[in-house]
Amino acid sequence: MLNTIDVNLHGKRHTDFDLLRIMKAQKQGFDLPVTAYLCGVSIRARAGIGVVFGHIRKDQYGRFGDGHLIRTSDVLKAEREGRFWVMTTENSRYVLATFQRQNGRASLRDFLRTTKGQYHPTPRILQ
């Protein structure tokens, strides 16, 4: 007899509102290619945290699968394109479809205020 456990850690279902915002973003189009769409986003310690949808690097092992939480590399810049915010990291561009309730937009404002267009990378090794 097999003991089977189905566990989906760090996952979340997209709400109807999330999916509606993603559809609007896809219809809008963007200047440069988009890596993925993020929902429930906040920026913490220079990294974007959110629930991913439509990641171009999704693989057969489930990495970057829809509904998984993702922590991006350091955010280089965040700028508005049309009706959506686009967050650029070292190798990716993420469209911010929705923000985390209560502190998502505030974290974006804090990021914009503290960086003022300048990039200060996180040290690779903290001493």
5 lies in some domain: no
Reading phi first (left if > 0) and then psi (alpha if -120 to 50, else beta), residue 116 is in left
90 lies in some domain: yes
What long-range pairs does 20-25 form, CB within 8 A, spacing at least 24? 21/97, 21/98, 22/53, 22/54, 22/97, 24/83, 25/83, 25/84, 25/95, 25/97
Instruction: Judge whether residue 89 has pLDDT over 90.
Output: yes
Instruction: Judge whether residue 61 has pLDDT over 90.
Output: no
Q: Say what the pLDDT of residue 126 is.
A: 54
42 lies in some domain: yes
Nearby residues of 81 by Cβ (< 8 Å), 6 or more positions away: 28, 30, 31
71 lies in some domain: yes
3 lies in some domain: no
Q: How confident is the model at residue 83 (pLDDT cuts 50, 70, 90)?
A: very high
Domains held by the chain: number: 1
59 lies in some domain: yes
Instruction: Judge whether residue 92 has pLDDT over 50.
Output: yes
For residue 48, what are the domain limits?
16-115
33 lies in some domain: yes
123 lies in some domain: no
- pTM (2 d.p.): 0.83
Q: Say what the pLDDT of residue 7 is.
A: 47
